[in-house]
């Protein structure tokens, strides 16, 4: 199904909040989904998978334990949203030619938008690679090389992000709408529903909760 990027971002943020993410992480995750969708890359399904898999898991166990050497998580698997946000915070490391490497990253494609924002911050091309996947971005456009169709892998043993020397390939530009399968849209909607206040007869009269129609 085709949706506006605003719709995709709004539902993604509510779904992330419904799964227990903080407002800040939910907002960043929703922006990441929007960015991927604008480039016609898998987005909503990956977020739905991630949120369902990490539901009720202590968030601190999914974030990088140490920023020295290869990043890893106490749980054994890094969350791409937590790792991506940390990558943004330490993007200046890449400006000096020091790549950032992560071990065992869940849904690695979700890290790519954060790398794109790092590219804008550094005003440089950034290359992200895992398995056979190579991606180059300047923050706005993107070039992908995925010879083994591994871009949507649920976990990567290693992900490396660093400055690219050049991009001879054409970087594709974003569109204004994105595609999310109906089943995955429903999965996100189910998580988002947790954020809604339960409607009672009294609350409906007062104007809270869901009304009889979507416009209420």
| pLDDT value at residue 214 | 47
Angstrom distances, CA of residue 212 to CA of 1, 194, 205, 215:
25, 19, 11, 8
CA distance 211 to 209: 6
49 and 17 Cβ atoms separated by less than 8 Å? no
Average pLDDT (82-98) is 93
The pLDDT assigned to 169 comes to 76
- Span 56-85, mean pLDDT? 95
Report the pLDDT value the prediction gives residue 170, as an integer from 0 to 100: 79
DSSP H stretches of helix in 73-200: 80-89, 92-95, 112-122, 182-192
**How many Å apart are CA 161 and CA 159, to the nearest integer?**
7
pLDDT of res. 205: 56
State pTM to two decimals: 0.89
pLDDT of 206: 54
In whole angstroms, what is the distance from residue 197 CA to residue 83 CA? 31
pLDDT at 133 over 70: yes
Query: Is the pLDDT at 116 greater than 90, yes or no?
Result: yes
Q: In the predicted model, what is the mean pLDDT of the chain? A: 91
**Mean pLDDT throughout 58-76?**
95
- Which tokens in the block code for residue 9? 């971002």
For the cut 60, the answer to whether the pLDDT of residue 201 exceeds it is no
- Average pLDDT of span 116-139: 96
Residues 6+ apart with CB under 8 A from 60: 74
> For residues 161 and 127, is the Cβ–Cβ distance under 8 A?
yes
Q: Are strands 133-137 and 142-145 parallel, antiparallel or unpaired?
A: antiparallel
**E-state strands within the chain:** 2-4, 100-106, 126-130, 133-137, 142-145, 155-163, 177-179
Position 87 pLDDT exceeds 90: yes
In the chain, where the domains are located: 2-206
Q: Report how far apart, in Å, the C-alpha atoms of 100 and of each of 90, 97, 105 are.
A: 9, 10, 13
Q: pLDDT tens digits, residue range 157-190?
A: 999 999 998 767 778 999 999 999 999 999 999 9
Average pLDDT over residues 16-42: 96
C-alpha 108/C-alpha 111 separation (Å) is 5
Residue 57 has pLDDT above 70, yes or no: yes
């Amino acid at each position: 199904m085709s949706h506006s990027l605003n719709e995709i971002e709004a539902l993604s943020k509510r779904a992330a909040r419904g799964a227990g993410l903080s407002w800040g992480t939910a907002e960043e995750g929703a922006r990441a989904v929007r960015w991927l969708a604008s480039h016609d890359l898998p987005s909503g399904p990956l977020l739905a998978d991630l949120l369902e898999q990490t539901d009720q898991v202590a968030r601190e166990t999914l974030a990088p334990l140490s920023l020295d050497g290869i990043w890893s998580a106490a749980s054994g698997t890094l969350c791409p949203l937590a790792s991506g946000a940390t990558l943004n915070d330490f993007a200046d490391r890449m400006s000096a030619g020091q790549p950032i490497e992560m071990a065992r990253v869940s849904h690695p494609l979700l890290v790519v938008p954060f790398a794109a924002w790092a590219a804008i911050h550094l005003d440089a091309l950034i290359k992200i690679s895992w398995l056979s996947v190579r991606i180059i971005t300047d923050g706005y456009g993107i070039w992908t090389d995925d010879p083994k169709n591994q871009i949507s892998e649920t976990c990567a043993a290693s992900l490396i992000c660093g400055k690219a020397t050049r991009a001879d390939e054409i970087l594709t530009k974003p569109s204004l709408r994105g595609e999310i399968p109906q089943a995955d849209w429903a999965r996100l909607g189910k998580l988002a529903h947790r954020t809604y206040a339960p409607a009672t007869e009294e609350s409906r009269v007062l104007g809270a909760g869901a009304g009889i129609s979507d416009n209420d």
